[in-house]
Amino acid sequence: MEGPFIKAKPIIVTLMEAGFEAYFVGGSVRDYLLGRSRGDIDIATSALPEDVQSLFDRTIPVGIKHGTVVVLHNQEMYEVTTFRIDGDYQDFRRPSKVEFVTSLEEDLSRRDFTINAIAMDIHGTIIDPFEGQKDLKNKFIQTVGNPDDRFLEDPLRIMRAIRFVSQLDFELSPETKKSIESHANLLTKISVERVLVEFEKLLTGKANEKAIILITELQIQNYLPQLNNKEEELARFAVLCSKQPLTLEEQWTLLIYSLKVEDIEFFFKQWKSSNEKIKTCRLYLNVITELKNCSSLSCYTVYTYGPETVKSGIRLFSLLENKQSNLMLTALQTITRSLPILTRKDMAITGNDLIEWYSKQGGPWLSETIEIVEKAIVDGEVENNKEKIKEWLLTCNPPFENNY
C-alpha cells in the first residue's frame, strides 16, 4: 500500500474499532492498481452517516441523503460513504433515494464499471467480485451487470465510459460499446452540468483523440450541446487535440475553432460553462486572430494579453496552422524580458500631466491619448520618461497639435 492509503488508514481503523466494516473503494483503488498515483481516497463503510459523524471530530455532511460524510484528518479530506444501493433514477437525475445496505458486495454492485467496483481492505487485500482486475489487465471498460440496464438507469455512465477511455487509454468492451450505441440518445435526459464534468475530463485525457473518434463512431455528438451533426469538425478536432498536452481552456478554444463557432457566448451558455472559462477562451482566440493577421509577434500583443495568454495563443496558432512554434516562443521570451512597462501603472505620466500639458479638461481624448502613449512606450517609439513623453507628444505627434 502506498502513501495516501497509509495516511487514510486511521479512519478505517476507527470505524473498524467501533464494530463497522470499512474499505478503500472506487477510483483510488483502480488508480492504485494501475500505478497511477493520486491524492483523493474514498472509503465505503457499513456505518451509517450519523455513526460516522459521531466517531470523528471534524466532519462535513456533504451528502447525508446519499450516505456521504467528509472526514477531515491530518489536513486531508476523505469521503466516507455508507454501503448503499441506488433507488430509482427518476427523470434521469441522481437517484431519488438510496437504500443503505450491510454488505460491501451489494455496494460494489451499484457502481458503474467493473474497474470502479474494486475494494481494498486495510491490509491491502483486494475484494473484486466483478473481476475488475481482469478488465484492468485487458484495458476494458465494462459495466457491472447488464449494460442496457445500467445505461438506462443512469445515462451519464455513457459519458463516463468514454471519459475513462480517454483518461486510461482503454477500450469499451464489445457489449458495453453496442449498448452505448443504442442508448446514446438518453444523454439528452441528463443535466448539462453532469455531462460537462465528464466531457471536460475526456477533453484532457491522454487518449482524447481516441475518445473523440469514439464519440463520432457511436454518434454520441448528436446528443451533446452544440455538437449535433458536427462529425467532420470533431474528426478534425480529434487529430489536433492530441498533438500536444493542452490545458482544458486550450482544448475548448481548439474545439471552438475547429467547429467554426460564431457565437461563442451562446455556445458556452449551452454547455453551462463558467464566465471565467469563456473569458480565457476569448483571449486565446483574440491572440490567435492577431497572430494570423500580423506577420510577427508584436510587443503590444504581449503587453496587452500577458505572456502566459500569448504563450497559449502561440501553441494553439501553431497547431491550427501546422507551423513550428519555436521561433514565436523565443520571440515571446525576448519581448517579455524587454518590455519597458508591464502595466499602465508603470507609465511615467498620468492623466493629470496630460491635462496640464494640453490645458484641457478631461474627456474621451484623455484615455485615447494615454493609450497612444502607452502603445508608443511598449513599441519602443518613446522612452518611458516624463520629459521624453512630453516632447514626443507635443512635437512628434501631429494629431494633438490641433488640440493644443
- Interface with Mg ion by CB under 5 A: which residues? 27
- Cβ of residue 231: shortest distance to ligand ATP, in angstroms? 26
The DSSP annotation for 8-60 comes to: HHHHHHHHHHTT--EEEETHHHHHHHTT---S--EEEESS-HHHHHHH-SSEE
Residue 157 binds ligand ATP (CB under 6 A): yes
Residue 120 in 3-state DSSP? Answer: strand
Residue 95 binds ligand ATP (CB under 6 A): no
- Cβ of residue 28: shortest distance to ligand ATP, in angstroms? 7
As a whole number of angstroms, the distance between CA 373 and CA 146 comes to 69
Exactly one of 26, 132, 155, 205 binds ligand ATP (CB under 6 A); that residue is 26
Look up residue 327 and give its amino acid. Answer: L
402: exposed, middle or buried (Cβ count in 10 Å: 0-12, 13-18, 19+): exposed
Candidate segments 5-13, 151-159, 335-343, 354-362, binder of ligand ATP by CB under 6 A: 151-159
- Cβ of residue 156: shortest distance to Mg ion, in angstroms? 14
Residues 6+ apart with CB under 8 A from 173: 135, 140, 141, 142
Residue 55 binds: one of ligand ATP, Mg ion, none (C-beta under 5 to 8 A by kind):
none
**Looking at beta carbons, which residue is closest to Mg ion?**
27
Candidate segments 109-117, 212-220, 382-390, 393-401, binder of ligand ATP by CB under 6 A: 109-117
Look up residue 103 and give its amino acid. Answer: S
Residue 156 binds: one of Mg ion, ligand ATP, none (C-beta under 5 to 8 A by kind):
ligand ATP
User: Which residue carries 496640464 as its cell?
Assistant: 356
Residue 27 binds ligand ATP (CB under 6 A): yes
20 vs 32, beta carbon nearer ligand ATP? 32
Residue 84 binds ligand ATP (CB under 6 A): no
The mark string for 41-60 relative to ligand ATP (x by CB under 6 A, - otherwise) is -x------------------
As a whole number of angstroms, the distance between CA 269 and CA 170 comes to 31
As a whole number of angstroms, the distance between CA 42 and CA 119 comes to 10
Residue 142 binds ligand ATP (CB under 6 A): no
Binders of ligand ATP: how many residues, by CB under 6 A?
Answer: 10
- Cβ of residue 265: shortest distance to Mg ion, in angstroms? 32
CA 146 to chain centre: 31
Residue 111 binds ligand ATP (CB under 6 A): yes
207 vs 287, beta carbon nearer ligand ATP? 207
Residue 68 binds ligand ATP (CB under 6 A): no
As a whole number of angstroms, the distance between CA 147 and CA 152 comes to 8
As a whole number of angstroms, the distance between CA 252 and CA 134 comes to 35
Q: Which three cell numbers stand for residue 34?
A: 494501475
- Cβ of residue 40: shortest distance to ligand ATP, in angstroms? 6
Cβ atoms of 297 and 332 within 8 Å: the answer is: yes
Residue 154 binds ligand ATP (CB under 6 A): yes
Look up residue 394 and give its amino acid. Answer: L
Binding site for ligand ATP (CB under 6 A): 26-27, 42, 111-112, 116-117, 154, 156-157
